[in-house]
Amino acid sequence: MQPAGDNRRVATNVEVPLRDTVRHATLSDGIRVAYAILGDPKASKRAVLIHSLAMDRNFWRPVAERLARDATVLIYDCRGHGASDKPAGPYTVELFARDLAELLDAVGWRSALVAGASMGGCVALAFAASYPQLVTALGLVDTTAWYGVEALRQWAERAERALKAGLGGLIDFQVTRWFGDDFRAGHPDIVRQSVEIFLRNDLPAYAASCRMLGACDLRAVLPTIAAPTAVLVGEEDYATPVAMAEALRHGIRNANLTVLKGARHLTPLERPGEVAAALAPLL
């Protein structure tokens, strides 16, 4: 793992897009990561947003466009996702955190508000623990430090189901976890787009990401996090329920908790205005 004080440059195209042009940064292990920057690149306020499992950088777009009115916002595809490279596993949240540190170095950012949802929240936690000097504030959305005593088995089973039968068989299970009943009925376009992104995933990379989450246990790092932290969770989220969000709020010394009434697991898509409003003061 790259030490927190290691300021090495990595080989990359460092041109910063003015609006939403996708670029690729090449990390120190040769992996290419796709990213885009929204808003004025000269803005003093900066945020980086880390997507959920099996999504891509556009997962955060509704929130990013709101924050970009007053800040520069970096969205990117984690390794194994979207337009980024999909190397063989194993993956760890610490590896994903190192990827982000190198990406920020590549685009010339010295610090930012770092927010992540679900898998992205686990990565954000690992990043804040390993690279505290790069984090001005932290956003933890529909996420957890630990999925529980059955996590290794449960996530391994999900990985194996995907490898054996494909992702199509998981759709019904996923969609009802992602969005509330009323939202699914009223926003079929967002549901359809999310399903399409999910189905485009590389199966081995998806399985490696599932196993990563099963092995993730960041409970010990919570007391070390000093950055101001916003914890958000959907009231009806049964993937990372309110109790897990409360554990984050109690474990981090400078955290507050917002429960979004009636929402489920993908609140940056289901409630982008409220998520953006909770993150904006941290800028």
DSSP state of 29: T
CB–CB of 39/73 below 8 Å? yes
Start-end of H helices in 131-238: 151-165, 171-178, 181-186, 188-199, 203-215
What is the overall mean pLDDT for the chain?
Answer: 93
- Distance (Å, whole) CA 282 – CA 81: 27
Specify the pLDDT at position 209. 98
CATH class of 23-148+216-282: alpha beta
Pairing outcome for strands 112-117 and 46-50: parallel
pLDDT at 14 exceeding the cut of 70 = no
Residue 32 tokens read as 């290419």
Average pLDDT estimate for 90-100 = 98
How does pLDDT run across 32-42, given as a tens digit for each residue?
999 999 999 88
Ordered by start, the domain boundaries in the chain are: 23-148+216-282
The pTM of this model reads 0.93
Average pLDDT estimate for 215-236: 98
Does the pLDDT value for residue 15 go beyond 90? no
The number of residues in the chain equals 283
pLDDT at position 20: 64
- The percentage of residues in the chain with a pLDDT greater than 90, rounded to a whole number, is 92
